[in-house]
Amino acid sequence: MSRKKPNLLFVFPDQWRRQAVGYRKEDEVITPHIDRFAQESLIMNNAISCFPLCSPNRSVMLTGRYPLSTGVTTNCKLGLPVKMNDDELTIGNILKKEGYQTGYIGKWHLDLPEQSAVEEPESGARHWDAYIPSGPRRFGFDFWYSYNAYDQHLRPHYWRDTPQMIEPNEWSTKHETDVAIEFIRNRNQEQPFCLYVSWNPPHQPFEQVPDTYKQMYADKPVSYRPNVQGKGLAQAEQHLRNYYAAVSATDDQFARLLQALEDEGLSDDTIVVLTSDHGEMMGSHGWLEHKNIWYEESIGVPCFIRYPGHVATGTEECLFNSSDLVPTLLGLMDIPAPAQVQGSNLSSLLRGEGGDRPSSTFICHYPGAIGEHEQARAQGLDINAYGWRGVRTNRYTYVAKRNFGDETVVRMCYDNENDPYQMNPVKLESAPLEGPEVELEQELKAWLEQLRDPFSLE
């Protein structure tokens, strides 16, 4: 007799960095519920966002394929024809075919803004936002309570199955949790469910968080990471308390979701994943309100997977890229991944059965500035041959960078063991001839060839 199919609840706040969890004792943030959940879960201690930017990494998290393959090489925004390829298969498509009820709640950011085509869309969507009608562009998610991109956390809006905008006038994370709980309570009990909950906070505007949570940090002294220096201090001083407040508020809403599973008797039959699409620099290395960079504060995300009796608890140091989420979750569900999936199925490691551990994982950035895209088109250049590419191993971060308009490749190698704040990289103007960088260069070259990436190390 076949095993009962597990439910999947996948929760991912936007821009939540690995350091911002209480039990880690790094960021001074209060997260009692997530701390407790971590004890019940397998903590993926080396969870990596392969492209630390909203749209590209969301496409990776849903398909198990890298940004160059999904077509999402920068944020979906006005001025660029960037959206997820029509023929992509997401975990929504796959699980729907397997008989799952599928739902997606919150930020989507995988499609063209409606104003790319129509100046005054019927839905009222503006700037990067869009209502996506029922059909193939929802990629298998039947219940869709969402928006494309809209950063007003205290005055959010959504669409369901008509262009009629829904404006609940309450904090987005709380409202989306209410909708998710209703989905769980009103599910068809004859079917398993797959529900993705995509909260926008702690993404900026950082100050848009309920005052109750701001008060938790109002009088607390705040310390800064050692790599927050110079101009980075201005951002850290301005935003850190609000960022922590948003994470603590998220902690309370996550507890409500777990309680809903408990109330429905679903805790043992549900795979719960809590992670993020990317981190946040918060002033480290002088980066202001930015995440699209290779440092740990940006590529490092929290990642907890709970599946009682099937997934081990404790801490797993295996490299776990966002591209590995789909094949690994399908592996835990005993569902084969489609052939086009590029990530690794690490489910045997999660079950505690051992298995091969990746020697490196791929990280990347493709240029997203509209002016650069236009210039590349005019000059007949491939814009995707620029930006930066890298590998992260258990010890090192190795990055090669070529800015658009400049053909020189600069390489940087960070020893994260001896330099955990990444303040003293080895910089190379040409291919390495000695040291660990030689092997890292080969790892990066192998990834570029495997993914048919036009970036050249020559």
For 22-43, how does the pLDDT look when each residue is reduced to its tens digit (9 = 90+)? 999 999 999 999 999 999 999 9
Please report which confidence band the pLDDT of residue 410 belongs to, taking 50, 70 and 90 as the band edges.
Answer: very high
Amino acid code (one letter) for 376: A
CB atoms within 10 A of CB 126: 14
Question: Whose CA is closest to 90, among 53, 141, 42, 157?
Answer: 141
Contact at 8 Å (CB) between 200 and 16? Answer: no
Residue 1 in this model has a pLDDT that exceeds 50:
no
Q: What is the pLDDT of residue 405?
A: 87
Contact at 8 Å (CB) between 291 and 52? Answer: yes
Residue 268 in this model has a pLDDT that exceeds 80:
yes
Q: What is the mean pLDDT of residues 120-131?
A: 97
Q: What is the pLDDT of residue 170?
A: 97
Q: What is the pLDDT of residue 125?
A: 97
pTM passes above 0.95: yes
Q: 């990066």: which residue's tokens?
A: 444
- Entry field: residues in the chain: 458
Residue 2 in this model has a pLDDT that exceeds 80:
no
CA dihedral sign, ordered 119, 124, 126, 132: negative
Largest CA distance in the chain: 63
Q: What is the mean pLDDT of residues 88-101?
A: 98
Describe the crossing of helices 232-263 and 172-185 by its angle, rounded to 10 degrees: 20
Q: What is the mean pLDDT of residues 293-320?
A: 97
Q: What is the pLDDT of residue 3?
A: 67
DSSP alpha helices (H): ranges in 154-269? 172-185, 211-217, 232-263
Q: State the DSSP string of 411-433.
A: EEEEETTT-TT--S-EEESS---
Q: What is the pLDDT of residue 291?
A: 84
User: Across the chain, what does the average pLDDT equal?
Assistant: 96
Residue 266 — φ and ψ, nearest 5°? -110, 0
Residue 228 CB partners (closer than 8 Å, separation 6+): 236, 282, 283, 284
HEC profile of 210-221: CHHHHHHHCCCC
Residue 406 — φ and ψ, nearest 5°? -140, 120
Q: What is the mean pLDDT of residues 1-12?
A: 84
pLDDT tens, residue by residue, 328-365: 999 999 999 999 999 999 999 999 998 899 999 999 99
Q: What is the pLDDT of residue 322?
A: 98
Tokens in use for 338? 């489609």
Residue 445 in this model has a pLDDT that exceeds 90:
yes
Residue 162 in this model has a pLDDT that exceeds 70:
yes
Higher pLDDT among residues 240 and 458, named by residue: 240
Contact at 8 Å (CB) between 257 and 37? Answer: no
Contact at 8 Å (CB) between 109 and 73? Answer: no
Q: What is the pLDDT of residue 4?
A: 86
For residue 152, give Cα distances in angstroms to 156, 178, 207, 208, 339. Answer: 5, 18, 10, 7, 39
Q: Which helix (H) or strand (E) holds 284?
A: none
Question: Whose CA is closest to 70, among 97, 98, 50?
Answer: 50
Contact at 8 Å (CB) between 17 and 202? Answer: no
SS3 283: coil
Question: What is residue 158's DSSP assignment?
Answer: B
Q: What angle do CA 83, 372, 443 make, to 5 degrees?
A: 75
